Amino acid sequence: MKNEAENGIDFEIQEIEKNKTPIKNKSLFNIQDDFNGLMRTIEESEGEITPEMEKALEINEKELQSKGVGYLEIIKKKEAFNLLVDNEIKRLQGLKSVNNNSIDRLKNSLLNAVKTFGEFTSGTVTFKTRKSSVLIIENEELIPKKYKTQVLTTKIDKAQIKQDLKTEDIPSCYIQENENLMIK
């Protein structure tokens, strides 16, 4: 016969099993929470794992695997969607470029018409030319120094700093270790 402690543990496991959300509706947080609850129960029973606990651990592992695959599917769908968005952006930029070229050709045609026939009015719209000027520089090397401004940019050699940090301290620099998700 089981003693009261074993009956209490069985009751807790039955409650965990009863309150479990179906795998599809369970979040990673809930899976982790169930696992932590099982670990606490195992610790309370001084490390003794009953067949019910073992079954609950197996179910938890299957839930985690299932949820991991589900997350991966969502990640892949979102990455594919981002590719579609990128392609749509390129397509729309191409349409915009074609449209801008068309606008430029239409404006040039109107300009040539005004140059040929002179100023004209159509309804409330008047078509005419105006004078403007733009500076053209054919060779920057021949421009005198007094018209030049030197702009300096600073680039930090991060690869060298990372290498040197292995042997010396560099002010305001350190290497931060990160854990990144790797999916094979």
Classify residue 31 by burial, with Cβ atoms within 10 Å: 0-12, 13-18, 19+.
buried
Is pTM, for the whole model, over 0.75? no
At residue 126, what are phi and psi to the nearest 5 degrees? Answer: -110, 135
Contact at 8 Å (CB) between 143 and 137? yes
Residue found by looking up tokens 């099993």 in the block? 17
| Range 129-153 average pLDDT | 88
Q: In the chain, what are the domain boundaries?
A: 1-130
How far from chain centre, in Å, is Cα 90?
Answer: 19
- Kindly report, residue by residue over 21-48, the tens digit of the pLDDT: 454 577 777 888 888 888 888 788 887 8
Across the chain, mean pLDDT equals 82
How far from chain centre, in Å, is Cα 42?
Answer: 39
Provide the pLDDT for residue 21: 47
- Kindly report, residue by residue over 102-123, the tens digit of the pLDDT: 999 999 999 999 999 999 999 8
